[in-house]
Every structure is written in structure tokens, then in C-alpha cells.
Amino acid sequence: MLAYALRRLLVAVPTLFIIVTIAFFMIRIAPGGPFDRERAIPPEIEKNILAAYDLDLPLWQQYLKYVGGVLQGDFGPSYKYRDFTVLDLIASGLPASLQLGGIAIVLAVLFGITAGTFAALSQNSRYDYLIMAGAMTGIAIPNFVMAPLLTLVFGVYLSLLPVAGWGDGALANKILPVIALALPQIAYIARLTRGSMIETLSQNYVRTARAKGLRERIVIVRHALRGALLPVVSYLGPATAQIITGSVVIETIFDFPGIGRHFVQGALNRDYTVVMGVMIFYATLIILFNLLVDLAYALLDPKVKYEQR
């Protein structure tokens, strides 16, 4: 298993390199540059600025410089926020993004699996229909609609929770963004769990467990749920990626100081280095999570093993 993990990590290096290369040239194709403003900068001053950031060099030289820097862990300065390096910005956004994404995914798993299991156990009952209707709504309403609705109701009408901002990390400020981020995931996981649970409950090994006279709770939690969770686990890899990219929208709406906002602002500002840095960070995360999911599979499903041939 260790050898498998190492092999996967090695393959990730060229993948990242290709991502860096494509991203570098793609963002340069976008019209407008980091120093195009509503009020144009006089050419002689623009020359000074471009020179200060090596942006006056031929593109291939800039590329080599950039890749050289990245290899040494230097992601360059932000062109827009001139007091910060890209790493400063990512580091400053990381706690917020991790908390937002982390809590959301935990909630999604917790509530999604509970609701899905409950629905499966009371299949075709009133509760089942209610939960599934809720889940369908959760999937159908995009979070850029859900988020403003939540702020309007809980922030403005009821004045229960802050509508935006980080609030020095206060829990109250995280509740709405976490809910907005988690809801569609809860819905999806609930549907997934329900489907696979219903399937698992009719499996022979579950019937055997019941026939042995095990208590229903043990049958469900220890036997059925374990099998039913496989599709959920394989969904969690892409879901984590989705939560990260989804948080780009949520962070913007809630004015939440995470990495996603830097990504959006960076793209709009043509802050090349910030966009590249965040992209590399996201790519690394996605590669990592996919690996973790694959490894988790081996733990849950005895049929899957990663052995050296």
C-alpha cells in the first residue's frame, strides 16, 4: 500500500508540471494585464512597473523564471497586493478555507448519511418522501441562490446571524456559509446513501446477519452501512474538490477571506502569480484527496487491495 501511495505521488509531479505550464500560458492569453486600470497608466510609468516585475521579459524567460521559483518554493509577489507574496495570501486564506470546507464536509457526511440511512430504512414512507424531496431541492438550488436567500432570511429579516465577513473568526460568521456550502452536498450524499443502502439491505450477507438474530442496530451500523458507504466514499474525493471550488462562490458572496476569494479576485485582476499559486494549490489538494479516497477504499472493501505485483 505504501509503495502504491508513493507511486501515485510520483505520477503527480508531471501532472502538476503540465498544469503549471498550461495555466501559465492560458492566463497570459486572457486580454488585459495586471496593470490595466480604469485609469490608464502613462506608458513611461508602465515601463517602470513592468520592469520591476520582470514582465518586460520575453514570455518564455518569464516562464522559466516562474518555474524555477516554484521549484524553490517561491511563488512570486502578488501584482495587485504589492505588500504580499502569493504564499502570504494563500497562508492568510488557508485557515478560513479549511474551516469552511472542513466543517461543511463533516456536516455533509454526518447529515447526509444519517438522512439517507433513515430514508432507506423507512422506504416509501412519508419520511422517505419528505427527505428525498428535501434532497432534490437541495441539489436543484445552486448555492449562489441559496446563499443570498439565507443571508436575507437569517441576517437581514431575523437579524440572527451576520450577513457577511469573517468577524475575527467568530462561529456566528461561519454558520451561514457552512450551511450554504454543505446543503447541496448533504442532499447528494443522502440520495447516494439511500440508494446504496436499499441495495445493500437486500444483500445476502445482511440477510444472514439478521438470520443470526443480531440486533437490528448492529445489522445496520456494522454490516449494512459499511457496504453502503462505498459509493459515498468514492464520491467524497470529487466532492471535496467541489466543496473547494464551490467555496469560491460562497466565499465571494459571504465576503469570506479564504483562498477562493483570492482566486476570483486574482483572475479578475489578472494577478497572474496569485491565480497560478492558487491553481497549483488546488491541483495538489485534488490529487491528494483522490489518493486518500483510493486508499480508504482498501480499508472499507476487502475486495480492493493495492499490492505490488
Q: Which amino acid is at 98?
A: L
142 or 167: whose CB is closer to other proteins?
167
Q: Which residues contact 80 (CB under 8 A, 6 or more apart)?
A: 34, 265, 266, 269, 271, 274
| Smallest separation, CB 277 to other proteins (Å) | 13
**Residue 300: beta bridge partners?**
none
Q: Which of 13, 52, 140, 145: binder of other proteins (CB under 8 A)?
A: 52
| Alpha carbon distance 129, 131 (integer Å) | 6
Q: In terms of DSSP H, where are the helices of 80-215?
A: 86-121, 126-140, 143-150, 171-201, 204-211
- Residue 217 binds other proteins (CB under 8 A): yes
- Residues binding other proteins: what is the number (CB under 8 A)? 71
Residues numbered 103 to 132 that lie near other proteins (CB under 8 A) are 107, 110-111, 113-114, 117-118, 121
Q: Which of 27, 33, 127, 291: binder of other proteins (CB under 8 A)?
A: 33
CB 273 within 8 A of CB 79: yes
Nearest to 220 by CA among 206, 230, 233, 236: 206
CB 191 within 8 A of CB 294: no
The binding track of 219-248 with respect to other proteins, each residue x by CB under 8 A or -, is -xx---------------------------
| Smallest separation, CB 170 to other proteins (Å) | 5
- Residue 268 binds other proteins (CB under 8 A): yes
Burial class (CB within 10 angstroms; exposed 0-12, middle 13-18, buried 19+) of 81: middle
Q: Which residues contact 204 (CB under 8 A, 6 or more apart)?
A: none
- Residue 145 binds other proteins (CB under 8 A): no
State the angle between helix axes of 272-300 and 86-121 in degrees (0 to 180), rounded to the nearest 10. Answer: 40
- Residue 45 binds other proteins (CB under 8 A): yes
Please choose, out of 5-13, 198-206, 240-248, 268-276, the segment that lies near other proteins by the rule CB under 8 A.
Answer: 268-276
Residues numbered 273 to 292 that lie near other proteins (CB under 8 A) are none
The binding track of 176-215 with respect to other proteins, each residue x by CB under 8 A or -, is ----------------------------------------
Q: Which of 2, 10, 14, 38: binder of other proteins (CB under 8 A)?
A: 38
The binding track of 75-94 with respect to other proteins, each residue x by CB under 8 A or -, is -----xxxxx---xx--xx-
Q: Which of 101, 162, 227, 246: binder of other proteins (CB under 8 A)?
A: 162
